[in-house]
Chain A
Amino acid sequence: GAGVSQSPRYKVAKRGQDVALRCDPISGHVSLFWYQQALGQGPEFLTYFQNEAQLDKSGLPSDRFFAERPEGSVSTLKIQRTQQEDSAVYLCASSPTSGSFNEQFFGPGTRLTVL
């Protein structure tokens, strides 16, 4: 079956541009997570959805970051007025149950480069 997919796989943005990153979780998965992974670091938690409800957004680094999952399936992470420090790989993961207490299935990530 299909795994988690993300698009685009690569995105180059000029500083100040807005970007939108898409995540298609595994069908039927309740939980969806977004992470930011800088080069050589572990994934850093950004936000968590249970179905369409955003239950935790404590990891979003600033109000320029916004995530949504309006129908409880596809999710979009939007970054407004991108800055160079936003350059990283953005990973999406989904899980069949609520919470993060079970296996998470990661997508391939979107590599964002802000010039």
Chain B
Amino acid sequence: GQQVMQIPQYQHVQEGEDFTTYCNSSTTLSNIQWYKQRPGGHPVFLIQLVKSGEVKKQKRLTFQFGEAKKNSSLHITATQTTDVGTYFCAVNNNDMRFGAGTRLTVKP
């Protein structure tokens, strides 16, 4: 199945700083999903991107899908302690392949 590389593996920021995680694939993706998993919790769907070059915003979160549909990013502006968790990208071909995730910690 398709493999996705997600970087960085960890990110520690001061509250108020921005945060970005990247997801890269060697093959063209039909779509990509992003999930957030709080410590001790389960993955929660954030968004799905389908179109080339698509940009979607959810409050302080901005999601982008690359023009070639091979990469995607999630950017959080002015992080808050409630943003703590692991952010996963996921791609599918009937099955679902998750990236390894980026674990975000926020220092108040």
- Are B42 and A41 within 8 A (Cβ)? no
The answer to whether A25 has its CB under 8 Å from any CB of chain B is no
- Are B43 and A43 within 8 A (Cβ)? yes
Q: Which residues of B contact A35 (CB under 8 A)?
A: 96, 98
Interface centre among A33, A101, A105 (most CB of B within 10 A): A101
The answer to whether B88 has its CB under 8 Å from any CB of chain A is yes
Main secondary structure of the interface of B (DSSP, over half): strand
- One of A45, A48, A103, A106 near B42 (C-beta < 8 A): A106
- Are A45 and B96 within 8 A (Cβ)? yes
- Are B44 and A106 within 8 A (Cβ)? yes
- Are B42 and A42 within 8 A (Cβ)? no
Main secondary structure of the interface of A (DSSP, over half): loop
Residue of B nearest to A106 (CB): B42
Count contacts on A: residues with CB < 8 A to the other chain: 25
- Are A56 and B95 within 8 A (Cβ)? yes
A99 vs B93: C-alpha distance in the bound complex, in angstroms?
Answer: 9
Q: Which residues of B contact A (CB under 8 A)?
A: 1, 6, 30-31, 33, 41-45, 48, 88, 90, 92, 94-101
Q: Which residues of A contact B (CB under 8 A)?
A: 33, 35, 41-45, 48, 55-56, 58-59, 91, 93, 99-109
